[in-house]
Amino acid sequence: MTETTPRMPLLGDPFPHLKVMTTHGPLTLPDDMKGSWFVLFSHPADFTPVCTTEFHAFQTLYPEFKKLNVKLIGLSVDQVFSHIKWTEWIKEHLGTEIEFPIIAANDAIAQQLGMLHPGKGSNTVRAVFVVDDKGIVRLILYYPQEIGRNMQEILRAVQALQVSDKYGVATPADWPHNALIGDRVIVPPATTVAEAEQRLQNPEFECYDWWFCHKPNPAA
């Protein structure tokens, strides 16, 4: 890596400053999203079957994302006119109007976000960046071109992150449908002997042991 090669963002990093062209006009990230969370997701190419199903699925769930103060942004290295024509096709043939912007990225932007994987060809892989309302990267996912994403999982992850932030808790596997504790949330580990002893006496908690305590979901 040279000094002029930007490092792709990692969890906890500020999202890189990008000026991009989209189907909704110019956009500056993350500045134009200030005060909102956003999910930036890339797709390999317009007018491809898997990507079409993904855009339909994202748009179907867009009202649920909006309830969480989350905006959606698509991205590929196709040009804006291709994005526009593709979304027209989706509306005409699938009855779904894509409401969120789609970025026309160049290779430099795709490379900066780690979306170009030489072993998977020249198109962008299916990347997902969840960025919070302070412009900080909170979750990153990569899928190969041949595997469509699960948008319900992306929505669930955003919900879990927001609950964790607001209440200072963790969420278990498959939350809110965990096999052990359902929609309850996990209390952060004790940091002192006294706190560990008090855990088992706290009527708010249920515990398997002092290091594994949980309580009702405060967001429910």
At residue 26, the pLDDT reads 96
- Its pTM stands at 0.90
For this structure, is 51 an active site residue?
A: yes
Same domain, 95 and 182: no
Q: How far apart are CA 152 and CA 65, in angstroms?
A: 10
Phi, psi of 154 (to 5 degrees): -65, -45
**pLDDT tens by residue, 46-69:** 999 999 999 999 999 999 999 999
Same domain as 107, residue 192: no
Is pLDDT of 77 > 90? no
- Residues 125 and 86 occupy one common structural domain: yes
**134 located within any domain:** yes
Please tell me which of 30-39, 119-128, 137-146 the model is most confident about, judged by mean pLDDT: 30-39
Same domain flag for 139 and 43: yes
pLDDT digit string, tens, across residues 21-49: 999 999 999 999 999 999 999 988 899 99
Q: What is the dihedral of CA 18, 147, 164, 184, to 10 degrees?
A: 170
206 in the same domain as 178: yes
Domain of residue 132, residue span? 18-149
Q: Which of 92, 120, 149 is the last residue of a domain?
A: 149
Highest mean predicted confidence (pLDDT) among 78-82, 86-90, 186-190: 86-90
Q: What is the mean pLDDT of the chain?
A: 91
Express each pLDDT in 93-113 by its tens digit: 999 999 999 999 877 777 777
Question: What local confidence, expressed as pLDDT, does residue 113 receive?
Answer: 79
Evaluate whether 170 touches 164 at the Cβ level (below 8 Å). Answer: yes
24 & 72 share domain: yes
Over residues 76-94, the mean pLDDT reads 95
Structure tokens at 79: 């040009």
In a domain, residue 99? The reply is yes
11 belongs to a structural domain: no
- Give the DSSP H/E element, type plus range, for residue 49: helix 49-67
Is residue 156 a part of any domain in this protein? no
Report how many domains make up the chain: 2
122 & 28 share domain: yes
- Name the active-site residue from 18, 33, 39, 51: 51
